[in-house]
Amino acid sequence: MNNGRFGIHGGQYIPETLMNAVIELEQAYNRYKDDPAFNRDLTGLLNEYAGRPSRLYYAGRMTEDLGGAKVYLKREDLNHTGAHKINNVLGQALLAKRMGKTRVIAETGAGQHGVATATAAALLGLECVVYMGKEDTVRQALNVYRMRLLGAEVHPVESGTGTLKDAVSETFREWTTRISDTHYVLGSVMGPHPFPTIVRDFQAVISKEIKEQMLEKEGRLPDAVLACVGGGSNAIGAFYHFLDDESVRLIGCEAAGRGIHTFETAATIATGRPGIFHGMKSYFCQDEFGQIAPVYSISAGLDYPGIGPEHAWLHDTGRAEYVPVTDEEAVQAFEYLSRTEGIIPAVESAHAVAHARKIVPAMGKDKIVVINISGRGDKDCAAIARYRGENIHD
């Protein structure tokens, strides 16, 4: 066993108290990942409950407006609960049930993963506790209500910067206090092995579908796939089945916040360096003594100082490119997609839309680009309105 290494990245940097828990998880996952009954249950839920497969939509007006490559949108925003998060959560919740766990805990940033976990817990009859940075409970108050409505307990986390990284730390702490009946439903391709692999496998359905749908619609592979990257679960999901197709450019769009030359940024590849945190070796935003930086992005879901280890490796090998996108560019793209296609994307996904607006015009009309719209933007409307100086609250 290589402890889940992606090049030098990955690994299992966690307290001894949790080691048998992640080993148990890995064994359970290896046992069930190819189990026909498990996969029948999972596919059944993904299709009948979450609404898969999600559409690959040809964005005609955007294509015409940008005047370059053809633009397709992978509509993960149309999934039940409004984001790609449900793909992973249904997989992990089913796995937790198979492992005999009766309780799930989860971290959440924007609230999408928390809502998805609360949803799966309600559906499968699991007790659910979600840890959310205090700052984020204010930014995403509606999602806090949603989780409670779904029967979950929501714990605001006040330590550190009160954002996603602190929610992750607190969920790990909580897990060490109660392991035997509790599974930690990690929401991104991060943390200790086997989480980056499990979450990637459950999200890989995105690229599997993109590939099939693209072959059906265009008879060929796309030239580029774009996705936003915080921890990187929707991006790895959108990239995975194209990793061996060298002709397909894979572009991860990081949250640059107010810009990569300011301290108010969350662009890990652009501004971070190798480190060890939250169970993994990867790139992290940190100071010269290894103190994790208090990162910033308008998007609570991308407001994280690290990136999943497989992305770190894809960056090292050059297989994928990672580009920074500022708050302002993301907000403009949020408004642009709303007006051009009548689709309000999550502000996270808007980072990918923003980068597409930069590169698509320069690409030939015979080229094809896919943007993963990882979530819908209803949750962001109040925050974006405030960003634009309109004083509304959700």
Partner 1 sequence: MTKTADAFTQGKAFIPFITCGDPDLETTARLVRAMAAAGADLIELGVPFSDPTAEGPVIQAANERALRAGTTTDKIFGLVQDLRRDVTIPIVFMTYANVVFSYGTDRFLARSREIGMQGLILPDVPFEEKGEFDGKCKEYGLDLISLIAPTSEDRIGRIAREASGFVYCVSSLGVTGVRSEITTDIGKMVSLVKKEQDIPCAVGFGISTPDQAKKMAQYADGVIVGSAIMKLVAKYGKDAEPFVAEYVRGMKEAVREGK
Give the active site residues: 85, 107, 374
- With binding defined as CB under 8 A, does residue 9 bind partner 1? no
3-state secondary structure of 176: helix
215 sits in the region (left: phi over 0; alpha: psi -120 to 50; else beta) called: alpha
Q: Report, in Å, the least distance between residue 256 CB and partner 1.
A: 21
Q: Report, in Å, the least distance between residue 265 CB and partner 1.
A: 17
Total number of residues binding partner 1 (CB under 8 A)? 38
Taking contact as CB under 8 A, which single stretch among the options 34-42, 47-55, 162-170, 307-315 is the one that binds partner 1?
A: 162-170
- With binding defined as CB under 8 A, does residue 290 bind partner 1? yes
- With binding defined as CB under 8 A, does residue 162 bind partner 1? no
Spatial distance between the Cα atoms of 247 and 249, rounded to a whole number of angstroms: 6
Q: Is there a contact between 164 and 300 (Cβ–Cβ < 8 Å)?
A: yes
Tokens of 277: 């945190």
Letters for 167-196 (x = contact with partner 1 by CB under 8 A, - = none) are --x--xx--xxxx-----------------
The sheet carrying 56-58 orders its strands as 56-58, 70-75, 368-373, 224-229, 249-257, 320-326
- 103-108 vs 70-75, strand pairing mode: unpaired
> Closest Cα to residue 129, out of 113, 153, 107, 110?
153
- With binding defined as CB under 8 A, does residue 15 bind partner 1? yes
- With binding defined as CB under 8 A, does residue 34 bind partner 1? no
- With binding defined as CB under 8 A, does residue 366 bind partner 1? no
Q: Which of 274, 362, 378, 392 binds partner 1 (CB under 8 A)?
A: 274
- With binding defined as CB under 8 A, does residue 17 bind partner 1? yes
Alpha-helix residue ranges (DSSP H) falling in the chain: 16-32, 36-44, 60-66, 85-98, 112-124, 134-139, 141-149, 164-177, 195-203, 205-218, 233-239, 268-271, 309-317, 327-341, 347-359, 381-387
3-state secondary structure of 195: helix
> Closest Cα to residue 206, out of 56, 333, 361, 311?
56
Taking contact as CB under 8 A, which single stretch among the options 195-203, 257-265, 287-295, 311-319 is the one that binds partner 1?
A: 287-295
Residue placing its CB nearer to partner 1 in the complex, 240 or 284: 284
Taking contact as CB under 8 A, which single stretch among the options 78-86, 115-123, 125-133, 278-286 is the one that binds partner 1?
A: 278-286
Distances (CA, A) of 65 to 219, 349, 367, 377: 24, 19, 15, 22
Residue placing its CB nearer to partner 1 in the complex, 16 or 34: 16
Q: Which of 3, 43, 47, 247 binds partner 1 (CB under 8 A)?
A: 3
Give 82's DSSP letter.
G
- With binding defined as CB under 8 A, does residue 292 bind partner 1? yes
Q: Report, in Å, the least distance between residue 8 CB and partner 1.
A: 10
Residue placing its CB nearer to partner 1 in the complex, 259 or 294: 294
Residue placing its CB nearer to partner 1 in the complex, 133 or 377: 133
- With binding defined as CB under 8 A, does residue 291 bind partner 1? yes
Spatial distance between the Cα atoms of 251 and 322, rounded to a whole number of angstroms: 6
- With binding defined as CB under 8 A, does residue 26 bind partner 1? no
- With binding defined as CB under 8 A, does residue 79 bind partner 1? no
Give 363's DSSP letter.
S
Positive or negative: CA dihedral 193, 195, 200, 205: positive
Taking contact as CB under 8 A, which single stretch among the options 14-22, 110-118, 326-334, 346-354 is the one that binds partner 1?
A: 14-22
- With binding defined as CB under 8 A, does residue 286 bind partner 1? yes
DSSP string, 220-253: S--SEEEEEESS-HHHHHHHGGGTT-TTSEEEEE
DSSP string, 258-290: T-TTSSS---HHHH-EEEEETEEEEEE-B-TT-
Q: Report, in Å, the least distance between residue 22 CB and partner 1.
A: 9
Taking contact as CB under 8 A, which single stretch among the options 121-129, 197-205, 283-291, 312-320 is the one that binds partner 1?
A: 283-291
- With binding defined as CB under 8 A, does residue 284 bind partner 1? yes
Largest CA-CA distance found in the chain, in angstroms, rounded: 56
Question: Using CB under 8 A as the criterion, which residues of the chain lie in contact with partner 1 when the complex forms?
Answer: 3, 11-21, 159-160, 165-166, 169, 172-173, 176-179, 273-279, 281, 284, 286, 288-292
